[in-house]
Chains A and B, each alone.
Chain A
Amino acid sequence: MAGLTYEKALEQFDPVFGIEVHVELNTATKMFCGCANQFGAEPNTQVCPVCLGLPGSMPVVNEKAVESAIRLGLSLGCSIRDSSRFARKNYFYPDVSKNYQISQYDEPTCFEGSLDVVLDDGEVVTVGIERAHMEEDAGKNTHVGGTGGIQGASHSLVDYNRGGVPLVEIVTHPIQGTGERVAEVARAYVATIRDIVKALDISDGRMEQGSVRADVNLSLRPKAAAGEDQAAVPFGKRSETKNVNSLRAIERAIHHEVVRQAELLLAGEPVVQETRHWHEDTGSTTPGRSKEQAEDYRYFPEPDLLPVEPSRDWVEELRGTIPEHPAKMRARLKDAWGFSDTDMRDAINADALDLIAASVEAGAKPQAARKWWMGELARTANDRGVTLRDLAVTPAHIAELQSLIDEGKINDKLARQALEGVLAGEGSPSEVVSSRGLEVVSDDSALEAAVDEALASQPDVLAKIQDGKVQAAGAIVGAVMKATRGQADAGRVREIILQRAGVEG
């Protein structure tokens, strides 16, 4: 069976998948206590009796987290329950300080929604959302010794800083009918969730820091024979691949699981229903602890917390704060800006869309804004190994820079120098232009003198121009630009040269 490809596998099998996305909320404090919710602090410095689960401590719900969860639910088209409860999910694990996780079980706050996912070619797939519920994150185990896994480790260290960080878990219904586009749809779904949480400003959406994490469930079933209804074919056994934490990894993990399961099925072997670990380095999955069958979480309503009962008025008020669906917003901007598919995709991939939008908002022409953010600035950010947002330049700067060009006060070359100054923290583009003396020489008499001087020193060039070889004027333009240290308007210089040579431009 070796050598089975993803495409071949999907010629014979129909994939069904589902995704659980965990979104870490960017609230100032944790889900049930007042500790700071911040990534990257020294281990066990953002902890208190509550998130350490010390005897006697009690949780109190973070209202901001409830607000974020409801806004996310509304963005996913979910209904919001008038009264929903937290529940305890009981299991022993050292990173769960109380040995139960406070989650939601039979009464999630947000339920039954749907999300349109737009693929690269514009095809729209509607994903059914089963629920979006609140819960607390666990701490982080670091296994010391061995290979870094729990097996073979000499001991493990637990950092409870992440323990109690607010999460929203979004669970899809099984997604069917995606065929060979299954990996693409999965990726686009998670990308859309990430875009939504960023647009809502409820999470930093940084997959590389684990603030958006995905578990991917996938099963294969035989393709229906011609004329038969695929939906009538029962689902196969599924695997659940845990912690797939980048968009690319989601595609790769689905590719891997499709091929792995297809190989098993073609060999007449069963697919085991289990959780699997994703390995970024090899692009493969391995079985996790076979706990799925044995684990009984003994959920029951959390007696330390009252039900969450958002008023109808509040929910409607929050509905008013929901931003446009990212795909719809993009389609609208693409039209308004006159961008090509490529322009748009590049801008999205560079995470520059909102910067361009803000620059346009500040008065820049869309193409000009795109040129600056995707060109000069993207290169600079790349060279420095930072993001565009880390640069000391704002959309307002870009709009200002472009207007200086459009008014003829500077040319492109001077604009780049001005931008350099802005990036170096020398102030706004106008300030840099004036402090560095970058304004173009627009005084014709100064330019005429420089042209005359250049023509006098290169009489052969003047002769060529007068002979009709107008392109020879370039050498004189170059000399003038050099003499004016680039501060001349090259177009005007050319006009003056042709005038002086008595040739019409």
Chain B
Amino acid sequence: MTDWTRASAADMAAAMQRGEVSSVELTQAHLDRIAGVDGDVHAFLHIDAEGALATARAVDEARANGEDLPALAGVPIAVKDVLVTEGLPTTAGSRILEGWIPPYDGTVTRKLREARMPILGKTNMDEFAMGSSTEHSGYGATHNPWDLDRIPGGSGGGSAAALAAFEAPLAIGSDTGGSIRQPASVTATVGVKPTYGGVSRYGAIALASSLDQLGPCARTVLDTALLHEVMGGHDDMDATSLDEPVPAVVDAARDGARRDLSGVRVGVIKELSGAEGGFQDGVKQRFDEALEHLRAMGAEIVEVSCPSFEYALAAYYVILPSEASSNLAKFDSVRFGMRVEKGNVERTMAATRAEGFGDEVKRRIILGTYALSAGYYDAYYGSAQKVRTLVQRDFDAAFAEVDVLVSPTTPTTPFKLGERVDDPMAMYLNDIATIPANLAGIPGMSLPAGTAPEDGLPVGFQILAPAREDARLYRVGAALEAALVDEWGGALTAQAPELEVK
């Protein structure tokens, strides 16, 4: 009997079309898998078996009636708890939203429903997407299926772990400074942060509005592209949404899989190539091997320099907390969520926020409030915006020379849970390679590059493209994936240790 949880979304969709499997069977297989392994992995905060199966049944009936169905109809999906889902609890990983049932759907949620994809449940995340390990979740950390003692990345560790643990074939993520790409990197899955404005943010609980972007997560480049096309496109409800069609990413992924990169110029970012320290040996090794694959497929590899990246992390940690301090002000107990009654409204607001927010959230609210204060604004927020402009110029200059830029996604393989939770700077440095893309609004992908020889843990390969050129990520990514899968003799996730099914 086929274990459908190991299949790709594309294969599941094709099998349903051929009548080899039903959506109910697929959905039930994933619910069973969740029941079997999620006690250890803790990828999910909420599971909606009933809702998922109802959608699956409706898809099966429609198919039986010969109705035309969307490409991914019946393929189950996990949704990061940052995205509001009408009737399903949505907490953004925070205790302050415990028990809140949104009265509306986010735009991407609506698109998933229109695509008739059963929503398995909501995945764990660092509280309000602040973190790189899910250790800042108000509901306990998620564990990396490759090694349950290690971090699954963050903030979208739940979505990435659900994919790596075969609890879902597809997942929604959100990426403010790497929250899709870094978890993908450490779990040997694929994740894409689309161009800013490429996917509607309406209904995504905001961390830093000018950096946030929802994106697709999957185990293959093609699956990621299929989900990208479901999610993307203009939305009147999001003023920052691009008014143009979704890039043809599925075509690009199929094109890339032919493994011909002739004429493609690939730029290695000098500052992020591991030459300047902080990068684990095995990460550098796998990265260099991936470059050789690209070269072998006809790509031209050149080194480019982005000198302003040195300041990107500092600028990011001014802009993000500033916007977050304002975005998180609405969590005040007046209209929704937790309430700690304390005499009058001001004290009630304060007490609720004191109890409902975790330490990392408080740390960033304090940072942001300070940075925006009268007398400090120019020195902090103003300077950070200037750095942002410089980072954008570095990218512009680089993309004048090359088609895509590449780097390792993270400096190291996944570290141990608890190892950095009390050292914010060490935690923040994990996002050094992913943050510049958010500052510039450009798209980025992480895909598996192999495991580091020294620890056998996943290494991620990052591809960046100019704004609106998301398709380039998929072409280059699919080519590299095809070459590597050939070399490995199958998907990297197949090399992960088997989880104990309980």
Contact = CB atoms under 8 A, between A and B. Distances in A.
Contacts of A92: 329, 332, 346, 349
Interface string A92-134: 1010011110000000000000000000000000000000000
Interface residues of B, number: 44
A478 interface: no
Contacts of B322: 300
Given A88-B326, A296-B374, A303-B209, A58 B202 contact: yes
A304 interface: yes
Range, interface on chain A: 20 to 34
B329 A94 contact: no
B210 interface: yes
B75 interface: no
Contact of A58 (B238, B345, B374): B238
A337 B478 CA distance: 81
Interface string A239-271: 000000000000000000000000000000000
Contacts of B209: 303-304
Given A304-B240, A305-B239, A298 B373 contact: yes
B332 A61 contact: no
B369 interface: yes
B84 A56 contact: yes
Interface string B183-215: 000000000000000000111111011100000
Contacts of B346: 92
Contacts of A52: 335
A416 to B, nearest CB: 56
B336 A54 contact: yes
Contact of B102 (A56, A97, A100, A298): A56
B236 interface: yes
B246 to A, nearest CB: 20
Given A59-B239, A60-B236, A300-B322, A54 B335 contact: yes
A304 B104 contact: no
B106 interface: yes
B86 to A, nearest CB: 10
A92 B352 CA distance: 13
A163 to B, nearest CB: 11
A27 B112 CA distance: 34
Nearest to B201: A58
Interface string B325-343: 1100111101110000000
B116 to A, nearest CB: 22
B494 to A, nearest CB: 36
Nearest to A61: B239
B479 interface: no
B373 A296 contact: yes
Contacts of A296: 373-374
B237 A99 contact: no
Contacts of A61: 239
Interface string B476-489: 00000000000000
Contacts of A158: 334
A56 B349 CA distance: 20
Contacts of B97: 55
Contact of A99 (B100, B323, B329): B329
B323 A303 contact: yes
Contacts of A300: 322-323, 326, 372, 377, 381
Nearest to A153: B344
Interface in A430-449: none
Contacts of B203: 56-57
Given A49-B104, A92-B346, A298-B372, A99 B239 contact: no
B381 to A, nearest CB: 6
A59 B349 CA distance: 24
B326 A53 contact: no
B497 interface: no
Contacts of A49: 103-104
B92 interface: yes
A52 B334 CA distance: 11
Nearest to A95: B334
Contacts of B92: 55
A304 B236 CA distance: 13
Contacts of B329: 90, 92, 98-100
A296 B103 CA distance: 33
B5 interface: no
B27 interface: no
A245 B103 CA distance: 37
Contacts of B377: 298, 300
Contacts of B238: 58, 60
A306 interface: yes
Contacts of B201: 58
Interface in B213-265: 236-240
A99 B332 contact: yes
Given A55-B97, A55-B336, A304-B240, A94 B345 contact: yes
A116 B238 CA distance: 41
A45 interface: no
Nearest to B353: A92
A83 interface: no
Contact of A54 (B103, B237, B332, B374): B103
B122 to A, nearest CB: 13
A56 B205 contact: yes
B406 interface: no
A158 to B, nearest CB: 7
B90 interface: yes
A324 B117 CA distance: 59
Nearest to B331: A55
Given A94-B334, A100-B326, A306 B372 contact: no
Q: Which of A56, A156, A306 has the most CB of B within 10 A?
A: A56
Contacts of B240: 303-306
Given A97-B330, A99-B332, A296-B373, A55 B349 contact: no
A46 to B, nearest CB: 15
B449 interface: no
Contacts of B202: 56-58
A55 B84 contact: yes
A54 B239 contact: no
A88 B236 CA distance: 21
A139 B179 CA distance: 36
Contacts of B210: 303
B290 interface: no
B326 A55 contact: no
A61 B205 CA distance: 20
B204 A90 contact: no
B168 interface: no
Interface string A411-438: 0000000000000000000000000000
Given A49-B103, A97-B335, A100-B329, A56 B204 contact: yes
Nearest to A297: B374
A23 B388 CA distance: 37
B237 A60 contact: yes
Interface string B364-396: 000001001110010001000000000000000
Contacts of A305: 239-240
A49 B103 CA distance: 8
B334 to A, nearest CB: 5
B323 A53 contact: no
Q: Which of A57, A100, A305 has the most CB of B within 10 A?
A: A57
A304 B330 contact: no
Given A55-B100, A304-B206, 17 more contacts: A55-B84, A55-B330, A56-B202, A60-B236, A60-B238, A88-B326, A90-B326, A92-B332, A94-B332, A97-B330, A99-B329, A100-B326, A298-B372, A300-B326, A303-B323, A304-B239, A306-B239
22 contacts: A53-B330, A55-B90, A55-B205, A55-B331, A56-B106, A56-B204, A58-B239, A60-B238, A90-B325, A90-B329, A90-B372, A92-B349, A94-B332, A94-B334, A97-B335, A98-B330, A100-B326, A298-B326, A303-B210, A303-B240, A304-B209, A306-B239
Closest 7 CB pairs of A and B: A99-B329, A303-B209, A298-B372, A303-B210, A56-B203, A56-B84, A55-B205
